[in-house]
Chains A and B, each alone.
Chain A
Amino acid sequence: EDQVTQSPEALRLQEGESSSLNCSYTVSGLRGLFWYRQDPGKGPEFLFTLYSAGEEKEKERLKATLTKKESFLHITAPKPEDSATYLCAVKGAGNNRKLIWGLGTSLAVNP
């Protein structure tokens, strides 16, 4: 069964303190891995899509990487406005068009 596990559940950082969020997945034939950001009271906002092991994508202070079993979201010198829940989802060869989602990592960045 396709599965996505995110860790840690919650993370508190000081402004400027870099760290990484993890997304481990089990899926039959990965077609895409997606990172989203969700602010309280809002829907998820798309960040990145990764397709194959070794691929990397960057956006401002965020960098997403992908291996055959997991993805990392690296946050470099975070700012308070980076505080949000970060969600990971995968699309496998099966499950039609359905995405399988992790429960997210709640990130708080203190000034």
Chain B
Amino acid sequence: KAGVTQTPRYLIKTRGQQVTLSCSPISGHRSVSWYQQTPGQGLQFLFEYFSETQRNKGNFPGRFSGRQFSNSRSEMNVSTLELGDSALYLCASSTGQELANYGYTFGSGTRLTVV
């Protein structure tokens, strides 16, 4: 079966710009979680969407937002980019029922570089 698809794979943006990242989860999965990964902080939870509703949110500023569509595809948006936003952004797909048994399935991520 198809895995989790994240687009684009790489992105270079200028400070102050905004960016939108996309994630298509595994077919049948209704939950999409977003993580930011940096060498110093590791994986930091951004938010989780389940059936088009934000179910949980991490400790990131309001510049970070997301949404989920009826087909479970999700987008995250970062406005007014800062240099510190440079990171690998990962999307994780799951059924949403529980974390047990198999954990998340991650996409390959979007590497965002802010210059």
A→B interface (CB under 8 Å): 31-32, 34, 36, 41-46, 49, 51, 87, 89, 91, 96-99, 101-104
Contact = CB atoms under 8 A, between A and B. Distances in A.
Interface of B: 4, 33, 42-45, 48, 55-56, 58, 90-92, 99-109
Contacts, number: 56
A61 to B, nearest CB: 20
Contacts of B45: 98-99
Contacts of B104: 44, 46
A91 B99 contact: yes
Contacts of B106: 43-45
Contact of B90 (A44, A51, A98, A102): A44
A98 B42 CA distance: 14
